[in-house]
Amino acid sequence: MLDRNTAPATQKIQKINFVEPQVLWINDSVKLLWMKDVPNETSRIDLYFNAGLRQDRNVIVSLCSSLLLSGTKQKSSTQIHEQIDQLGAYFDIGLSHEGLLISIFALKKNLLKAFCLIFDSIQDATFPDKEIAEKVTEKRERFKISSAKVGFTAQRKFQEKIFFNTPYDELTQISDFDNISKKEIVDFHDKWIKKGLYKIAVVGSIDSKELETIRFRCQSNCITSPITYFKDFCNSPGAFHVEKKSAVQSAIRVGKTLFNKTHDDFFDFSILNTILGDYFGSRLMKNIREDKGYTYGIGSAIAETGGSGYFIIGSEVGTKHREASLNEIKKEIELLNSLSIGKSELELVKNYLLGQMLKAADGPYAMMDLFLSVDAYSLDMEFYNRYIERIHQIQSDELKSISKKHLQWDSMSIVSAG
């Protein structure tokens, strides 16, 4: 007879086999990574450009990145897009402060063609006036819509406090869209796209000759010296509120300057972050959603930059629960500073993290993404073995001291909007 009151026995994950991609060098600073064992017809190529927001005015960088496929001397925007469609390919453009990522997805039989088409179109982009005008209008409209959201307002305020007085502190204004010259876009393109490629990652069982073609084609567009990243961030602490009368929810962002994977405390803080707010059973979720019902969701995260990073808690809560929610967040942080985490909670989080690690290593795409996320900090897959080891070993008192060291309420930038 089945005993439903007793949980089935479980096995702990001890070891995960991480597979590194093959590494080919294009020059001293630029790698081409290749994960070639893919058990199906899919393939992806990621192109990383040193063309992030920090390199120029936000509006120029953002326009340039979204106009990369808007036409060349030979082809109109529509022609380029129709040719991409013919190949059944997709692309995705992601822009951050520190980089621009263009990902191309296609069946492997079409990957090389899709790459050549997209790469050439990007490099030969001429930025037709009509395309610029159209994109400016579109972006201005989107900006207006975003501005009406409390989450967007709070995030801007938070960025202002986190990136205070650094090359990352520009906030886009609506008037920026009225003040654009084609020359600025073209100059940016010349400097950061034509000469800014700094990493290429290929997933797919394509032919090695095809990979060689990709490598050859990229050569003249690569950076030639290593990229340096800004390191000296320091958030401005304190509480800041942006009032929005009509809002039925308030957005909350709480956080501070932290660090990235290269820091000695990274593993411990990651585990602590999970306990506080990075899974469904986290303390913030348990308290503010599952006990109080103030929100649909609340979470915390570590956001990394090339030379540093920051910690952030985010949520949208009913306006009348704003103060109460902030108080509970504070309470949860102080609890981590003062009381040791119980044995069963720590055991649960350890098992959960190991399970998530196994899932994050499932398949060639996941494996490449794991590699990219350590390679960005000049680390290798050994990082994850060390992390797994640390998860197994860490004790409650060590988490308490890491919390005391990094999670002081007075050091936080506390932002709300709504």
Cα 395 to its chain centre, rounded Å, is 29
Binding to another protein (CB under 8 A) within 283-302 occurs at 289-296
- Give 9 or 183: the residue with its C-beta nearer to another protein: 9
Interface size with another protein, residues (CB under 8 A): 71
**25 touches another protein (CB under 8 A):** no
**96 touches another protein (CB under 8 A):** no
Stretch that binds another protein, among 38-46, 54-62, 165-173, 326-334 (CB under 8 A): 38-46
Which of 30, 35, 52, 40 shows the shortest CA–CA distance to 102? Answer: 52
Q: Which residues contact 76 (CB under 8 A, 6 or more apart)?
A: 128
- Give 134 or 369: the residue with its C-beta nearer to another protein: 134
Member of 134, 187, 265, 369 binding another protein (CB under 8 A): 134
What's the CA angle centered on 365, arms 364 and 366, to 5 degrees?
90
Minimum CB separation from another protein for residue 150, in Å?
A: 7
**397 touches another protein (CB under 8 A):** no
- Give 29 or 76: the residue with its C-beta nearer to another protein: 76
Member of 7, 209, 343, 410 binding another protein (CB under 8 A): 7
**141 touches another protein (CB under 8 A):** yes
Stretch that binds another protein, among 7-15, 218-226, 374-382, 390-398 (CB under 8 A): 7-15
Q: Which residues contact 372 (CB under 8 A, 6 or more apart)?
A: 33, 46, 199, 201
- Give 155 or 308: the residue with its C-beta nearer to another protein: 155
- Give 19 or 24: the residue with its C-beta nearer to another protein: 19
Minimum CB separation from another protein for residue 280, in Å?
A: 5
Is 303 within 8 Å of 97 (Cβ atoms)?
A: no
- Give 57 or 244: the residue with its C-beta nearer to another protein: 244
Minimum CB separation from another protein for residue 313, in Å?
A: 16
Cα 304 to its chain centre, rounded Å, is 8
d(CA 374, CA 332): 30
Member of 30, 51, 59, 87 binding another protein (CB under 8 A): 87
Is 272 within 8 Å of 336 (Cβ atoms)?
A: yes
**128 touches another protein (CB under 8 A):** no
**11 touches another protein (CB under 8 A):** yes
Minimum CB separation from another protein for residue 133, in Å?
A: 9
**116 touches another protein (CB under 8 A):** no
Binding to another protein (CB under 8 A) within 205-264 occurs at 246-249
Stretch that binds another protein, among 18-26, 179-187, 257-265, 315-323 (CB under 8 A): 315-323
Binding to another protein (CB under 8 A) within 398-417 occurs at none
Q: What is the CA radius of gyration of the chain?
A: 24
Binding to another protein (CB under 8 A) within 147-206 occurs at 147-150
Binding to another protein (CB under 8 A) within 267-286 occurs at 279-281
- Give 151 or 309: the residue with its C-beta nearer to another protein: 151
Binding to another protein (CB under 8 A) within 343-382 occurs at 347-349, 351-352, 354-356, 358-359, 361-363, 365
Q: Which amino acid is at 384?
A: Y
b/e per residue 89-119 (b: at least 16 CB within 10 A): bebeeebebbbbbbebbbebebbbbbbebbb
**105 touches another protein (CB under 8 A):** yes
Minimum CB separation from another protein for residue 182, in Å?
A: 18
Member of 19, 24, 93, 107 binding another protein (CB under 8 A): 107
